[in-house]
C-alpha cells in the first residue's frame, strides 16, 4: 500500500462514524491494516467531545492454514470451507480464476477467495493433485464445512 492510499484511508476513517476498520488484501502482499478509535472512559458529568485520533497498526500476514479436507469414498479429497461467506473463483471479476477443473495444483496453492465480513480470505489447497470438480459457483454464498472442490491427490 503506498503512502497516498494510506493517507486516503486515514481521512475516510477520520470522517466516518466507524469505530474500527481492518483492511487486508493480497495485492498488498498480505499486509493487514487495522484502524481503531480509542475510547475514553465515560465521564460522570457531560463534557465537550474531543476528536479521537485513529490508531494505525500493521501486522505481518498470518501464515495461511490449508483448507480442511475430507477424503471421500472414491479416493478424492474434498476441500471444505473454513468459514461462512461468499465464494469467488478469482481475485477480481476481470482476473482469471485461481484454478479450473483439470488443473494440477500444489499444496498451499490458492484455490479461491471467501469474502467474510468484507475481508477477502484466500483458501489454500491442503493437498497436491488435480482439481476434479469445482462444487460452488462464482459469487455464491457458502456455509462452514461446505465442500468447495474435489481434488484427486497425487
Query: Do 66 and 122 meet the contact criterion of CB atoms below 8 Å apart?
Result: no
Residue-wise pLDDT tens for the chain (154 aa)? 567 777 777 777 788 877 887 777 666 556 677 777 766 555 555 555 556 656 555 554 444 455 555 666 688 999 999 999 999 999 999 999 999 999 999 999 999 999 999 999 999 999 999 999 999 999 999 999 999 999 999 9
Global pTM reads: 0.56
What would the grid cell of residue 96 be?
482469471
How many angstroms separate the CA atoms of 99 and 18, rounded? Answer: 36
State residue 12's pLDDT score.
79
Dig out the grid coordinates for 11 from the structure.
481521512
Domains of the chain: 3-36 (no CATH), 77-153 (2.40.50.100)
**Residue 94 neighbours by CB distance under 10 Å:** 6
Of the candidates 121, 104, 103, which has an alpha carbon nearest to the alpha carbon of residue 113?
A: 121
Contact 150, 78 (CB under 8 A): yes
3-state DSSP assignment of residue 151: strand
Amino acid at each position: 500500500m503506498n503512502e497516498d492510499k494510506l493517507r486516503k484511508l486515514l481521512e475516510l476513517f477520520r470522517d466516518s462514524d466507524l469505530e474500527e476498520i481492518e483492511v487486508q488484501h493480497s495485492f498488498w502482499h498480505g499486509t493487514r491494516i487495522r484502524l481503531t478509535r480509542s475510547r475514553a472512559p465515560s465521564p460522570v458529568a457531560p463534557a465537550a467531545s474531543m476528536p479521537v485520533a485513529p490508531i494505525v497498526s500493521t501486522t505481518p500476514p498470518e501464515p495461511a492454514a490449508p483448507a480442511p479436507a475430507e477424503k471421500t469414498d472414491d479416493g478424492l479429497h474434498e476441500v471444505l470451507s473454513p468459514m461462512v461467506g461468499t465464494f469467488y473463483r478469482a481475485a477480481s471479476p476481470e482476473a482469471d480464476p485461481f484454478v479450473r477443473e483439470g488443473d494440477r495444483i500444489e499444496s498451499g496453492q490458492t484455490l479461491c477467495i471467501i469474502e467474510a465480513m468484507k475481508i477477502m480470505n484466500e483458501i489454500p489447497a491442503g493437498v497436491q493433485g488435480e482439481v476434479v470438480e469445482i462444487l460452488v459457483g462464482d459469487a455464491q454464498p457458502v456455509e462452514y464445512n461446505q465442500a468447495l472442490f474435489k481434488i484427486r491427490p497425487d
